[in-house]
Structure 1
Amino acid sequence: MSVAIYPGSFDPITNGHLDIIERGSKIFDRLIVAVLKNPNKKSLFTIEERIEMIRDAVSHLDNVEVDHFSGLLVDFARKRNAKIIIKGLRAVSDFEYELQMALMNKKLYKDIETVFIMTSTKYSFLSSSIVREVASFGGCVKDLVPPAVEEKLREKFTIKG
């Protein structure tokens, strides 16, 4: 059974992330969306909120589960018996950093492989940070995120004023 991990902060999950998840779920027997819990990074959504939004967005995919981790991704991969890391690439500029990470992960865990999936062109500009910025100024994010995420963003920025 092939087990792959798609790691990220997903703050929030976007339709670009969802595209990678859906495509990855067709390639691997089981796909674990692994939400990074980074105490050094200020997130808009809590880890619990992000997990809930992702679970809602992937509920139609039987072989996808959502979990969280902190520390080294390869340690999480070992614990979950995963040998594959999925990374989405939007542009050539993403590749250099992701290649470095893939090589370091391979050095730390010789059995791990990284699979790069090119984003669909309609999402090549999309990132969580862009979504957060647009939403913070009251812009429409309807076609950028799943419906439940759009609602959560609206709530989050309405509360903040």
Structure 2
Amino acid sequence: MAENLKKPLDSYRKAIYSGTFDPITNGHMDIIRRAANIFDEVIIAVAKSERKGPMFSHERRVEFAKAATKNMETVKVIGFDTLLVDLATELEIHTIIRGLRAVSDFEYELQMGYANSSINKKLETLYLMPTLENAFVSSTIVREIIRFDGKFCHLVPDEVLKCM
């Protein structure tokens, strides 16, 4: 019976978790850790997203994500400036990870999931919820606190603070 539970080599599973990560937060890290427990490899794809007017440059955001995940062997960080669907197809990834903090996230994420699926039918979107302590943490909140010189060190990974 245990023989049936062994994982064949061709079942290697990768997932992609994308965002602007401006900056990467403890909430993001919560989702990354959860995804890393489910998948063999998790690609953190940092979107350039110039139209959003990020606080930190694309290079810095990639640097922050790499620093925050440096001790996670199965997590890799890349930057990208394409449709996520195209990147997933190029990397032969069939699962997109998305984080849901509150009901307000759900409608947007559901629309994006359907849009991605309409472009590539092989794509599945897996929604993960952060722990309660990270449910309120967002990059938007962190940026606002930074703008007003507030205390934000408890909201981002220590490795990111060192990079800042």
Partners of 1:55 and 1:45 in 2: CA distance: 15
Q: Name which of structure 1's ranges 76-85 and 37-46 shifts more when overlaid on structure 2.
A: 37-46
5+ residue gaps, structure 2: 1-11
Partners of 2:32 and 2:102 in 1: CA distance: 18
After TM superposition, the structure 1 = structure 2 runs for residues 84-99 of structure 1, keeping only pairs within 5 Å, are: 84-99=95-110
| One-letter amino acid of the structure 1 residue matched with residue 128 of structure 2 | I
After TM superposition, the structure 1 = structure 2 runs for residues 75-154 of structure 1, keeping only pairs within 5 Å, are: 75-153=86-164
Partner of residue 55, structure 1: 66
Contact 2:15 2:43 in 1 (8 A): yes
After TM superposition, the structure 1 = structure 2 runs for residues 22-37 of structure 1, keeping only pairs within 5 Å, are: 22-37=33-48
SS of 1:104 mapped into structure 2: helix
Do the aligned partners of residues 152 and 135 (structure 1) sit closer, same or farther apart at CA in structure 2, a change above 3 Å counting? farther
Larger Rg: 2
Give percent identity, aligned residues only: 46
Q: CA offsets, 1:33-67, max 9 Å, x none? A: 00111232211111111111111111111010001
Q: CA RMSD in A?
A: 1.1
Residue 19 of structure 2: which of 5, 8, 30 is its match? 8
Pairs aligned (count): 153
SS of 2:127 mapped into structure 1: strand
Partners of 1:74 and 1:135 in 2: CA distance: 32
Contact 2:67 2:160 in 1 (8 A): no
Partner of residue 156, structure 1: none
TM-score by length of 1: 0.91
Q: CA offsets, 1:41-96, max 9 Å, x none? A: 21111111111111111111101000111121100001111000000000011111
